[in-house]
């Protein structure tokens, strides 16, 4: 079997892409420089079989989902509710309930409070761009609301940041793209490790600057 060298450059590119678990095949040989880089970047060597087994054992981070948004996200929200229920999620529709003009901060605040109190495992918010609802939700202590425009950002938000509210743009993104983002967000577990330390720094900042 022909050997394949795993180089330092390959490891750096893997890390830049948000990789954490590097699948090492039987025919792979790690160069000394690559081995050093693996240590400094806290990359975990594993196998495809181990990754698959871990994914199968992982519990889904979210079971109860609150979903809401303003009038610009109403049509998409209705489709997403069906999408989530088909996946076995318990869905709490917090509005809006029609296409009449509505204020996005109202629904973002509702979602944040439900997650904050533990009455929802996570939440999905839809407005025109995915930006203003995230700004609102992040005014609540313990909330990590993220605006995602692709599957990579959704995976990183969960794996690295343990985000608990996903915000998407109902006008800026197509429904298929939104569903793909949601699929990744709701099934990706927090990686912990070095990322936990950074979350603890965020928590400390919250404690110093939030009243409740």
Which of the residues are catalytic?
160
> Whose structure tokens read 């404690």?
207
User: If DSSP states are collapsed to H, E and C, what string results for the chain?
Assistant: CCCEEECHHHHHHHHHCCCCEEECCCCEEECHHHHHHHHHCCCEEECHHHHHHHHHHCCCCCCEEEEEECHHHHHHHHHHHHHHHHCCCEEEECCCCCCCCCCHHHHHHHHHHHHHCCCCCEEEEEECCCCHHHHHHCCCCCCCEEECCCHHHHHHHHHCCCCCEEEEECCCCCHHHHHHHHHHHHHCCCCCCHHHHHHHHHHHHHHHHCCC
The alpha carbon of 124 is separated from its chain's Cα centroid by a whole number of angstroms, namely 11
Written as six digits, the tokens of 86 are 């088909």
């Amino acid at each position: 079997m022909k050997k394949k060298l795993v180089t330092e450059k390959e490891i750096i590119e893997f890390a830049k892409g948000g990789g954490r678990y590097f699948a090492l095949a039987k025919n792979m040989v790690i160069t000394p420089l690559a081995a050093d880089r693996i240590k400094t970047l806290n990359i975990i060597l594993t196998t495809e079989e181990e990754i698959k087994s871990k994914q199968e054992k992982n519990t889904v981070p979210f079971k109860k989902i609150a979903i809401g948004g303003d009038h610009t996200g109403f049509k998409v929200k209705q489709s997403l509710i069906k999408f989530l229920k088909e996946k076995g999620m318990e869905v709490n529709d917090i509005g809006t309930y029609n296409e009449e003009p509505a204020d996005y901060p109202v629904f973002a605040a509702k979602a944040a409070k439900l997650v904050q109190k533990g009455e929802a495992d996570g939440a999905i918010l839809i407005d025109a761009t995915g930006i203003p609802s995230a700004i609102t939700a992040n005014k609540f202590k313990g909330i990590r609301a993220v605006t995602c425009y692709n599957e990579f950002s959704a995976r990183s938000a969960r794996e690295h940041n343990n985000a608990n509210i996903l915000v998407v743009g109902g006008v800026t993104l197509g429904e298929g793209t939104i569903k793909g983002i949601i699929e990744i967000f709701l099934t990706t577990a927090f990686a912990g490790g070095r990322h936990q330390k950074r979350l603890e720094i965020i928590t400390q900042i919250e404690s110093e600057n939030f009243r409740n």
